[in-house]
Chain A
Amino acid sequence: MSAAQTTRRSREVWGTRIGVILAAAGNAIGIGNLLRFPGQAAQNGGGAFMIPYVLSLLLFGLPMMWIAWTVGRMGGRWHHGTTPGIFDRLAGGRPVGRYLGVIGVALPLTFVLYYAYIEAWCLGYAWFSFTGVYADPAIDLNTFYQEFVGNAVTSDYFSGLGTALVFLLITIGVNIFVLYRGVTRGIELLAKIAIPLLLLFCVFLSFRVLTLGERAGTVWDGLNFLWTPDFSALNHPTVWMAAAGQVFFTLSIGFGSLECYGSYLESDDDIALTGLTTASVNEFVEVIFGSMIAIPAAAVYYGADKVEQIASQGTYTIGMVSMPTILRDVGGIEIFGTMWFLLLFFAAFTSSVAVAQPVMSFLQDEAGLSRASATGALLMLWLLGSFAVVFFYKFGALVEMDFWAGTIGLVVFAAIEVVLFAWIFGIDKGWDELHHGAHIRIPRLFKLTMKWVTPPLLIAVLVGFYLGAPSQLLDPLPSIHAGVLDRGGVAGGFSFEGPRNAPERQESAALENEIRTAVTATGRDLRAWVRVTVHPAAPPSLSQASGDPDLLTTVGVQKLFRWVQLQHLTYEPPPGRAARSVDVLLAVEGRYRRLAIWITRLAMFAFTIGFGLMIWAIWRGRREETEHPPLMAAGGA
């Protein structure tokens, strides 16, 4: 053993088994359980979605989860909590192992930088709900949300990013506080409080949804919609990819966090049963509560025929726009709205501390920093990175990071890990290690699966994710946004229905291409304003246009008008008010994204290179210490 290893400080261990289970369950349970799962199921075959979902769980979800625990516990024995050190040992000391392991630190750091912002939205909305900030039915929650997060062309409810930044600071602060307190007094204690609270909120909210009664639909319509199987959907590869993706996200595989949690176990602690139990708690929350809250509530309020449209608008629209709209209109937003957003916040909080812990562990175990110094270094990185995410949000930085780190990166990392574990380290040794101290016997079929099925399947999933990515993610084109200005002066709700049929969609896309070309040619954002008269029962009419000459002369006023018409702006007067025409000013913005996206990509690349250089320096230092031990250490040894 080298001098560096002999002098390495002793590592923390978990206090209790239930603490480990709850902490790891907290890692796995996130916003995705309550919003992403029902949205994915609703759009991908309903009940039939469970077939590829369960198969994905068996063929790579559970095997990867057990591998991560095993690798982590071995790492703890070697005084490594992160994958550079662990993969180095698994690869028999070959440098390639530790450099591949760098992904297991760079990836979670990238993830927490943007996830903290999403977590801050939940905290912010919990506060807005509690204080009744959006209790007035005249407040349009879609615009409210877009302005809060910094993606709007208007500023009716938030004049800037100040409010979002305050909640982001609080979010990062509480995360750092928990991480500073350590594994037992911080993460484990948080899990013991947050997970029971989370389950309690789930029960209350499910009960509230069940007692919503009948409006545009019933709870049963929502459950019918969610669970009626459409077996023809199974013919589409996208449905299988969606299920595979969901299993990946839900079990938090490929983040390096399970390995890190596993490293705080003692070498004879059970991991087979503990790992399976954490997965079962995660599935309990996902399948039962995930299907009982958001989609049934949307079916009651909007009607079952609108649920698919709502689900297709994405995870955050369901959580941040549809759910608060429903809870506000049925009454008791101060209680149930707060509960809903605290539920999401706790789900995100327990996940973010788990994903940030590998960075803490790396700085402590490998860089040799004290806990206070490691916390300080992480705080600096977190503040700088997350603030950049906030300012670049409207240019798509968060989506970009989520694609590379939270989608592609996870699968790459998991594929490397399974190959190292099953093929380089050896499945026989790995299987024995998994069963060391085990309280259950895992069927041997999983051993064969780990070696022969999981690796090729992960590579297939990786290719599928890459090929299935929207072309805009790979080639950052300008994005186009529209919003109603002076909303505060006009009571009632506005919404953009979008093109209504295929010819309209084609025409709209062609016009958007012309706007994008103008934005790309100038290399900056281009804006225009259009005066629109909207009547609840008649098509909108357009009268004036002004704005950046580069947009108006290149695209032309008539084409801009046509694009606005194709978005089908609708107006709904407040309840009890007669239908009438209103004049509004519509803002259209074409955002130049290329520069921001490439800066984001470079930053992510820089994290990886930075950690790689640290690994190079650390291992070089250790080799030199081994070859030329200091006199004190040599004498002591």
Chain B
Amino acid sequence: MNLTAAIFMGLSWACVLALTGFCFWTVFRVDRKGNDTRRRSRQK
């Protein structure tokens, strides 16, 4: 695989992985703190 292709593929993959990682990390962090509004309303 040539270097330019590797850079473009690596950058694209890194961006996607970072975005997905950030989103799920935030979702689980928020929900673990009990901020999931639906779960909260169901617990009431």
Q: Are A284 and B16 in contact (CB under 8 A)?
A: yes
Query: In the complex, which of the residues B5, B11, B23, B26 contacts A223, with contact meaning CB atoms closer than 8 Å?
Result: B5
Q: Which residues of B contact A266 (CB under 8 A)?
A: 37-38, 41
Q: Mark B1-17, 1 if CB is under 8 A from A, else 0.
A: 11011101101110111
Query: In the complex, which of the residues B13, B27, B31 contacts A287, with contact meaning CB atoms closer than 8 Å?
Result: B13
Query: Could you tell me the distance in whole angstroms from the C-beta of A36 to the nearest C-beta in chain B?
Result: 16
Q: Which residues of B contact A281 (CB under 8 A)?
A: 20
Query: In the complex, which of the residues B12, B24, B37, B39 contacts A437, with contact meaning CB atoms closer than 8 Å?
Result: B37
Q: Which residues 577-624 of A sit at the B interface, judged by CB distance below 8 A?
A: none
Query: Could you tell me the distance in whole angstroms from the C-beta of A238 to the nearest C-beta in chain B?
Result: 20
Spell out A's residues near B (CB within 8 Å).
13-18, 21, 46-48, 50, 54, 220, 223-224, 226-229, 266, 268-270, 273-274, 276-277, 280-281, 283-284, 287-288, 291, 437, 439-440
Q: Are B37 and A228 in contact (CB under 8 A)?
A: no
Q: Are A227 and B6 in contact (CB under 8 A)?
A: yes
The distance in angstroms between the C-alpha atoms of A288 and B5, with both chains bound, is 14
Q: Are A227 and B16 in contact (CB under 8 A)?
A: no
Q: Which residues of A contact B6 (CB under 8 A)?
A: 227
Q: Which residues of B contact A21 (CB under 8 A)?
A: 27
Q: Are A280 and B39 in contact (CB under 8 A)?
A: no
The distance in angstroms between the C-alpha atoms of A281 and B35, with both chains bound, is 22
Query: In the complex, which of the residues B2, B26, B31, B39 contacts A224, with contact meaning CB atoms closer than 8 Å?
Result: B2
Q: Which residues of A contact B1 (CB under 8 A)?
A: 220, 223-224
Contacts A288-B13, A291-B9 given: A13-B20 contact, CB under 8 Å?
Answer: no
Query: In the complex, which of the residues A223, A274, A284, A291 contacts B20, with contact meaning CB atoms closer than 8 Å?
Result: A284
Contacts A220-B1, A266-B37, A283-B16 given: A227-B9 contact, CB under 8 Å?
Answer: yes
Q: Are A277 and B41 in contact (CB under 8 A)?
A: no
Query: Could you tell me the distance in whole angstroms from the C-beta of A42 to the nearest C-beta in chain B?
Result: 12
Query: In the complex, which of the residues A16, A227, A287, A440 contacts B26, with contact meaning CB atoms closer than 8 Å?
Result: A440
Q: Which residues of A contact B27 (CB under 8 A)?
A: 17-18, 21, 273-274, 277, 439
Q: Which residues of A contact B17 (CB under 8 A)?
A: 284, 288
Query: Could you tell me the distance in whole angstroms from the C-beta of B10 to the nearest C-beta in chain A?
Result: 9
Query: Could you tell me the distance in whole angstroms from the C-beta of A277 to the nearest C-beta in chain B?
Result: 4
Complex A-B: 15 CB contacts under 8 Å: A15-B38, A16-B38, A47-B12, A223-B1, A224-B2, A228-B4, A269-B38, A270-B30, A273-B26, A273-B30, A276-B23, A284-B20, A287-B13, A287-B16, A440-B26
Q: Are A229 and B38 in contact (CB under 8 A)?
A: no
Q: Which residues of B contact A14 (CB under 8 A)?
A: 38
Q: Which residues of B contact A274 (CB under 8 A)?
A: 27
Q: Ordered nearest first, which 5 A-B pairs have the shortest CB separation? A: A47-B8, A277-B23, A227-B5, A227-B9, A280-B20
Query: Could you tell me the distance in whole angstroms from the C-beta of B43 to the nearest C-beta in chain A?
Result: 13
Q: Which residues of B contact A283 (CB under 8 A)?
A: 16, 19-20
Q: Which residues of A contact B2 (CB under 8 A)?
A: 224, 228
Q: Are A280 and B16 in contact (CB under 8 A)?
A: yes
Query: Could you tell me the distance in whole angstroms from the C-beta of B35 to the nearest C-beta in chain A?
Result: 7
Query: Could you tell me the distance in whole angstroms from the C-beta of A464 to the nearest C-beta in chain B?
Result: 24
The distance in angstroms between the C-alpha atoms of A46 and B39, with both chains bound, is 44
The distance in angstroms between the C-alpha atoms of A17 and B23, with both chains bound, is 13
Q: Which residues of A contact B39 (CB under 8 A)?
A: 16-17
- Which bracket fits the contact residues of B? 20 to 34
Q: Which residues of A contact B4 (CB under 8 A)?
A: 47, 228-229
Query: Could you tell me the distance in whole angstroms from the C-beta of A151 to the nearest C-beta in chain B?
Result: 35
Query: In the complex, which of the residues A17, A226, A228, A284 contacts B38, with contact meaning CB atoms closer than 8 Å?
Result: A17
Q: Are A17 and B41 in contact (CB under 8 A)?
A: no
Q: Which residues of B contact A50 (CB under 8 A)?
A: 8, 11-12
The distance in angstroms between the C-alpha atoms of A223 and B6, with both chains bound, is 8
Q: Are B9 and A17 in contact (CB under 8 A)?
A: no
Query: In the complex, which of the residues A16, A48, A280 contacts B23, with contact meaning CB atoms closer than 8 Å?
Result: A280
Q: Which residues of B contact A439 (CB under 8 A)?
A: 26-27, 30, 35
With both beta carbons as reference points, the residue of chain B lying nearest to A439 in the complex is identified as B30
Q: Which residues of A contact B9 (CB under 8 A)?
A: 47, 223, 226-227, 291
Given A224-B1, A228-B8, 7 other A-B contacts at CB below 8 A? Answer: A17-B27, A17-B36, A46-B5, A223-B9, A229-B4, A277-B20, A283-B20
Query: Could you tell me the distance in whole angstroms from the C-beta of B5 to the nearest C-beta in chain A?
Result: 4
The distance in angstroms between the C-alpha atoms of A15 and B36, with both chains bound, is 11
Query: Could you tell me the distance in whole angstroms from the C-beta of B30 to the nearest C-beta in chain A?
Result: 5
Query: Could you tell me the distance in whole angstroms from the C-beta of A434 to the nearest C-beta in chain B?
Result: 15
Q: Are B5 and A17 in contact (CB under 8 A)?
A: no
The distance in angstroms between the C-alpha atoms of A48 and B8, with both chains bound, is 8
Contacts A280-B20, A288-B13 given: A13-B38 contact, CB under 8 Å?
Answer: yes
Q: Are B31 and A17 in contact (CB under 8 A)?
A: yes
Q: Are A270 and B8 in contact (CB under 8 A)?
A: no
Query: Could you tell me the distance in whole angstroms from the C-beta of A511 to the nearest C-beta in chain B?
Result: 41
Contacts A21-B27, A227-B6, A277-B27 given: A270-B37 contact, CB under 8 Å?
Answer: yes
Q: Which residues of B contact A223 (CB under 8 A)?
A: 1, 5, 9
Q: Which residues of B contact A287 (CB under 8 A)?
A: 12-13, 16
Scoring B4, B6, B9 by chain A CB atoms within 10 A of each residue's CB, the highest score goes to B9
The distance in angstroms between the C-alpha atoms of A276 and B38, with both chains bound, is 18
Q: Which residues of A contact B11 (CB under 8 A)?
A: 50
The distance in angstroms between the C-alpha atoms of A280 and B11, with both chains bound, is 15
Q: Which residues of B contact A440 (CB under 8 A)?
A: 26
Q: Which residues of B contact A224 (CB under 8 A)?
A: 1-2, 5
Q: Which residues of B contact A268 (CB under 8 A)?
A: 37
Q: Which residues of A contact B19 (CB under 8 A)?
A: 276, 280, 283
Q: Which residues of B contact A13 (CB under 8 A)?
A: 38
The distance in angstroms between the C-alpha atoms of A287 and B31, with both chains bound, is 28
The distance in angstroms between the C-alpha atoms of A18 and B12, with both chains bound, is 25
Q: Which residues of A contact B37 (CB under 8 A)?
A: 266, 268-270, 437
